[in-house]
Amino acid sequence: MSLRSLVRLILVPPLLAAGALPASAQPAAAASQVYRCPGPPVLYTDAISPKEAIEKGCRTIEGTPITIIQAPRPRPAAAPSGGSGSGSSTAPRAAGDGKVDPAAQRQRDSEARRILQDELKKEEDKLAQMQKEYNNGEPERRGDERNYQRYIDRVAEMKAAITRKEADISALRREIAKLPAP
């Protein structure tokens, strides 16, 4: 929203009501409509045409001055009040600077790598078991599969489960590859 629009929204309606504006300025200010448009952030604007306002479902606001209040700026994070101030590399850094100690980051990375490798091993073992049961598309028939369609459905489910498991393993390998080398 431009400064001109803000001035119109804030100053013009009270001045019009008080009759403080000269007659030459009143028609121009009165010609501008202020709209309240719906949405997750409710929008008050005079920068759209009446046709756009109708399309967006906006309502006209008449005779009501709009006040805009600027939100306070966030304060910068305070420095930690450590007594010694030794500056050792193992001390945690301030929460506001967004940096992590390199040794702590290496430890996190190695822990993440270990967890992902453990998960990868479990998933590979499950995949091997599933492929063994699948038997290259010809698993053994069970007693409850007298109907051949049930057998075909089970084989299709097994194939889909193997495909999903392979995709999971690929995703785990990609995640491990993203981590820095140990």
Q: What's the pTM value of the predicted model, to 2 decimals? A: 0.46
pLDDT value of residue 92: 52
Q: Is residue 9 exposed (0-12), middle (13-18) or buried (19+ Cβ within 10 Å)? A: buried
pLDDT of 125 above 70: yes
pLDDT value of residue 128: 96
Segment 141-151 mean pLDDT: 89
pLDDT of 63 above 90: no
pLDDT of 82 above 80: no
> Which phi and psi (to 5°) does residue 69 adopt?
-115, 125
For CA atoms 166, 168, 169, 170, the dihedral sign is positive
Tokens of 143: 């007693």
CA–CA dist 154, 88 (Å, integer): 61
Return the HEC string of 17-32: HHCCCCCCHHHHHHHC
H or E element, residue 55? helix 50-56
Tokens of 73: 């700026």
Q: What size, in residues, is the chain?
A: 182
Which strand ranges, in their side-by-side order, compose the sheet holding 59-61? 43-45, 34-37, 59-61
Segment 117-146 mean pLDDT: 93
| Residues with Cβ within 8 Å of residue 104, at least 6 apart in sequence | 92
Domain locations along the chain: 3-61, 102-178
Chain centre to alpha carbon of residue 50? 34
pLDDT of 20 above 60: no
Q: How confident is the model at residue 74 (pLDDT cuts 50, 70, 90)?
A: confident
Which of the pair, 94 or 134, is modelled with greater confidence? 134
The per-residue pLDDT for range 22-60, each reduced to its tens digit, is 444 444 444 567 888 888 777 878 788 888 888 888 888
CA–CA dist 182, 180 (Å, integer): 6
pLDDT of 79 above 70: no
Segment 117-121 mean pLDDT: 96
Amino acid code (one letter) for 164: R
CA–CA dist 117, 126 (Å, integer): 14
pLDDT value of residue 112: 93
Q: Which of 45-54, 134-143, 172-181 has the lowest mean pLDDT?
A: 45-54
pLDDT of 9 above 60: no
